[in-house]
Each structure stands twice: as C-alpha cells, then as structure tokens.
Structure 1
C-alpha cells in the first residue's frame, strides 16, 4: 500500500487539521465520515482530480489530524469545515460528503450558511434515528474500551469496520482503516468519537432540509446495513428537487466498494 500522506496543516483552536489538494480545475471539496479518513476517499480523489481541484482533509479527531482529547462531535465538525473553506479561500465550491461527512456538509450549509454550487451526499448520517447499539454501549463504557489490550482493540476495529462493507475488504484496505486508530492516542480517539455521537446534531438541522435550494444528489449503497436504504429515500423526500441514485452490490462503505460507479454518477450530476 502506498503511504497516504496529507501535506497541509491548519490550526483550528490549537488543534491541527491535516489536509491535501490535488488536480486543477473548478474547486471540489470532499469530506469523509466515521470511522474513516481521507484514505478511504483516495479512489474518488484521484479520479475527480483529473477535472477538478479536489480539497480534502481528515476531520478533527480522525486520520492524521489531531486526536487530542476534546470535542470531535458533529457539533464542532461544521465549524472546522467552515474555517477550512475560509483558509482555502473557497466561495461556493462543489462539495461531496460521505457518512458523518454528509451530515457535516449539511450542517455547514444550513447552520453556517455556507453556499455550495452543488451538493453530493453518499450514505449520509442525516435522518434520525441513527446510531448502533455498539455506539450506545461505547458511550456508556468509554473508559473501559479505551483501556482494552492492543490486540483486542484491533480485533474490535477490524470486525466493526468490516460490517460496513457488503463484501469482504482487502487486507491492505483494512490496514489503512485500522492504522490511525492504533496506539494509545488512536485507541482513545476511536472510542471518543463514538461516545460523542449524538442524533441531536442531525435533529437540529433535519427540519431545515426542505429549505435547501442547492442542487443535491444522494447516492446510496443498496446493501447498506449501517443506514438502511429507506433513510436515503426519506432524505430524498425532504430535500426539494434532489436526485437519488442507488449503487447495487455495495454497502455503507460504497466509497471503497464501487468508487468508479460513484465517480460516474458524481460527474454526470455536477457537469449536467
């Protein structure tokens, strides 16, 4: 596996955000979800950068960004994105968000009043109810999970992330996902982001979805077992004139399973 590195650095309230930029053309920002990082967006980034300047970053508490103790909830992630857009001097770029990244895009658009040329949401965490029993269990016992022996923790992460895919993931992909969550700081960060997951952060914007006037495309893995297809259909009904496309033979981690099909759908939409 080629080492995935983010060369850029941005200070957000004393915590480092790592980011990258690739390609030339109109600006396009892409935002990952949980427990992922920009590593999982590498296929989309490389393909989209052939025609666009793609901006990407590891969210606060994820990947190569700071994993110091503190707020890493959806309640802070929209402010991080808002600050990055200022840092990059971007006004109304195209934006793509997967999972929590989709929720962050929606919160940034609706709460920070950031304009976007077009919005693409991939299996976003956007409609209540969401959050697995495992999330709730971690929230109640965060300290105990943070203290698990390394080999048990890695087995937990491995088993957990595999459930996001419809078919088994390749070992190098699993290693790229697991690696940022290892070590004392990484392990604590993994359970911290779960413990801070709260549906109130989507509840407070859900009633605003009908006000979205920006052209929006919603893409969904048909076999998503983390957020069922019905949630995507509900979101489609809430956002006026949105488009909805289903990606067959893919689960929640459609960004790893069907990147070529995603790129095709994204390009057709943003170039229409």
Structure 2
C-alpha cells in the first residue's frame, strides 16, 4: 500500500477537506477526478514541485476527505475549490484538473468567477453526453450496488478502474485507488458519488466555454475509452486559442500511465509567455 497522507484540514460547512502542499515557487493547484484521489496525482505533484508550490486535496466525498452521507456532486465541488483558493490566499494560480477535476476547475472559473493564470485540463468531463455504461447503470441503481458484499464490491471496483487505463496498472496503484472505497464508510461513498453525477453540471457551463480567455492547455490520452478523444477535440474547438496535446499509448488514466510526458508538456505550456 502506498504511503499517502494529507496533513492539513479545511472545514467546508462542517465537513473536513484534507489537503497538503509540496515544493516552492509560483502556485499550482491540482484537482483529481473520479473514482480517484490526490494519490493518483502524486506523479504530477512530484514532477512539478521542483519548480512550483503545488497545492492538492481530496474532493469532498473522496480519498481522505469527508465521505459521510451528503452532497458530493459536481455542483458542490466548485464551491469547495473556490473556498480553498480563498483560504490559501492565491491570486490567479495555475490550475490543473483531471476528469471530474477538470469539470470542477472549469465550473470554478465560469460560475464562481475565479481567475487563473493558466488552465490545464486532462481528459476532463466537459462535453455531454458522458458516462460509461457501468457508470450510468450504477447511477440508476445505487441501492442495489451499495448493498453488495464487500468482496464483490471490491472486485467490481477493481475491474472498473482497470478499464480506465490503456496499459496494465500495477497492483500497488490498484490497491491505492481501492483503499478509500473499502468498508462500511468507503463502499457507500463510492456509489453515492456516481449516483449524484448528472450531465446538468456540464450542460450549465458548456455554452460558456467560448468565453474562456485564460491560456488553456487540453491534454488527452489517445486511447481513452471512458471519454473518447473526439470529446477533447470538440472542447478544443469550443475554447478559443486553446492548445491541445494528445498523449499516445495512454487511456483515461493518463496521469498514472504517462505522467512524465504530462509534466513535460505542462511545464512547457506554463513557461510560455
């Protein structure tokens, strides 16, 4: 099991958000997606922390943050990110989001009017319709899934997360992803966050992408089967002057499969005037 512990607490309406920082320099905020946690951003965090101060956290309902019954939808995550950026006293940070994290950073910018110096999204959930067949099935039948025996639940989640990667994941990574979703606290939290997913959270910002003036980089795993590359190309067309880089031999979990390539492209983009 990977040793990954977030040391700091932030109170969001009585619920604890776990967060941490690494490195020194200009601030970068990184935001994970589903069903991941900040653990899966560790390669990006380590790769960027040699030049920047990286702020990272677990979304509400994920990882080490509060996973009690309550709102963990995309409709709340941008409020969490907005409050954290205010709490950290960051003025126009560089922001990176993967998957639902990409949705969150887009919503935070477009709905909460939080300004970024630069914006990087990695295989974001941004264009409707979205959701795999499994995801949509769980969305409709949360109670049936959350009532499964633990060993079946863990097998289902492991099988599901493997489909996000083009390359085989090592067992340590798989266990790190599974750990927050185990037990009486984690199992219902896994199905809760899927049940609360709704395309209306992207529908309400999709027509606003053309208003984004922040320099934006779109990174996409070429073999992504969760959110096909065509969605990324459409997003690229919708965001004026955005750049798009396609990462070969990687799927939706490109943050685990090709982190060095991501770091290289991110640093090059940030370094542009």
TM-score range, shorter chain: over 0.9
For 2:74 and 2:2, locate their aligned partners in 1 and report how far apart those are by CA, in whole Å: 30
Deviations 1:203-237 (A, max 9, x none): 00000000000000000000000000000000000
Number of the residue aligned with 1:63: 63
Number of the residue aligned with 1:87: 87
Structure 1 length as normaliser, TM-score?
A: 0.99
The answer on 1:181 being equivalent to 2:181 is: yes
Number of the residue aligned with 1:129: 129
After TM superposition, which residue ranges in structure 1, 4 or more long, deviate above 3 angstroms? none
Partner SS, residue 91 of structure 1 = coil
The 8 Å contact of residues 29 and 94 in structure 2, kept in 1 or not, is answered as yes
Report how far residue 28 of structure 1 moved.
0.4
Partner SS, residue 174 of structure 1 = helix
For 2:234 and 2:90, locate their aligned partners in 1 and report how far apart those are by CA, in whole Å: 31
The 8 Å contact of residues 2 and 176 in structure 2, kept in 1 or not, is answered as no
Number of the residue aligned with 1:25: 25
For 1:33 and 1:81, locate their aligned partners in 2 and report how far apart those are by CA, in whole Å: 13
Deviations 1:73-130 (A, max 9, x none): 0000000000000110111000000000000000000000000000000000001110
Partner SS, residue 25 of structure 2 = coil
Structure 2 length as normaliser, TM-score?
A: 0.99
The 8 Å contact of residues 127 and 202 in structure 2, kept in 1 or not, is answered as yes
**Two-structure CA RMSD over aligned residues (Å):** 0.6
For 1:239 and 1:141, locate their aligned partners in 2 and report how far apart those are by CA, in whole Å: 35
Report how far residue 185 of structure 1 moved.
1.0
The 8 Å contact of residues 38 and 56 in structure 2, kept in 1 or not, is answered as yes
Deviations 1:31-87 (A, max 9, x none): 000000000000000110000000000000000000000010000000000000011
Q: How many residues align?
A: 272
For 2:133 and 2:161, locate their aligned partners in 1 and report how far apart those are by CA, in whole Å: 15
Report how far residue 21 of structure 1 moved.
0.4
Report how far residue 135 of structure 1 moved.
2.0
Partner SS, residue 265 of structure 1 = helix
Number of the residue aligned with 2:246: 246
Number of the residue aligned with 1:96: 96
The 8 Å contact of residues 135 and 197 in structure 1, kept in 2 or not, is answered as no
For 1:33 and 1:110, locate their aligned partners in 2 and report how far apart those are by CA, in whole Å: 18
Return 140-149 or 96-105, whichever deviates more.
140-149
Give ranges in structure 2 of 5+ residues lacking alignment.
Answer: none
The 8 Å contact of residues 181 and 187 in structure 2, kept in 1 or not, is answered as yes
The 8 Å contact of residues 209 and 238 in structure 2, kept in 1 or not, is answered as yes
